[in-house]
Structure 1
Amino acid sequence: MKTAKLIPLYLLVIATAFLLSFFISQRETPNMQPDVLMSGRALPRFTLTNIYGERVALESFQGKVVLIFFGYANCPDVCPQVLRKYAELEQLLGPKASDVALIFITTDPFRDSPETLARLVEKYSSRIVALTGDWDELAEVWQKYHIRPLEKEEQAAFIAHSALIYIGDRNLVLRKILTPEMPAEDMLEQILPLL
């Protein structure tokens, strides 16, 4: 008889645990898809700091096709994959590589100093433009690109972030959004018409 009375209590505990885990998971994995309507619009402008401590504006890449990816130096999976794709694209482009800007913008301003990003990109290609900044200026860029990697107070070891590569034409207009799973050869096919 006592077991029958405890069943509703067990069900309530299980339901509460399920709901709690659902709400926590929703907070930890924010909606990271960009607004589809961004395509065909000017890439949102920014000015950030490169690995040499110099301020770099998106406009400085006018006349080049730009690829923009958001990630962080200690990322265990998708960021190294994208940086390898950047290096592969550079090889596949050959002499046309100078007409393409490969941009990596940090989602971890707490740890990704210019020096940290310099060590990261030297593993892949000296042509990768790695950019950082303080939290406030990066948060503004993240918002413009629909990226929500972390809250200002957080310094998590693993940072959820988008896994999209934004491609802008020579006039800095967004033309394509690609995923890191795409082979470098297929990415090249998407880039060549923009050159």
Structure 2
Amino acid sequence: MIRIGLTGSIGMGKSTVAAMFRSLGVPVFDADACVHALQAPGGAAVVPIEARFPGTTGPNGVDRAALGAQVIGNAQEMAALEGIIHPLVRAARVRFLRRNRSRPLVVLDIPLLFETGGEDMVDLVLVVSAPAFVQRRRVLARRGMTEAKFRAIRRSQMPDDEKRRRADVVIETAPPKWAVRAQISRLVACLAAHKRG
């Protein structure tokens, strides 16, 4: 199995690229979706998050806005939250890899791949990137996003140019979707041929 680590900063088009891999039949582990499930009603992270961050959960699971207000921009509180979430996500990732062990390629979609030292568990690091003005436009179009929140999120993430420098492959997402899909198709075909060879 070739494990592709898919990463990229907020608004770079990572979800779109992950969907393209899926459409080509490549299984994708989505760390963000896993976190959402862990924080949903009955999710394994709800009780420990409430214990550490009182008042941030309710009948709908974790109130992401309330939790974000406590942790974004506060390194100590963010580290405490990560101490709850990361072990649960790792366990889910192990289960995903076990289920897909006979597949030639899998994608591990991990937004904080570099920040958490996750590049050691993959065979290839793919960074999704776009110019800063495209990133800003995409992120500020999201519901509930503000300029201040965007700046705080960017400060918490490794800069895009550093991610690009450390990548094995960079996928540019500013071009039209058909061109991005062509980049992904070529990569999948190349890796599949390498695996067969």
TM-score (norm 2): 0.31
Q: Which has the larger radius of gyration?
A: 1
**Between structures 1 and 2, the one with greater helix share:** 2
TM-score (norm 1): 0.31
Q: Which has the higher contact order (CA 8 A, sep 6+)?
A: 2
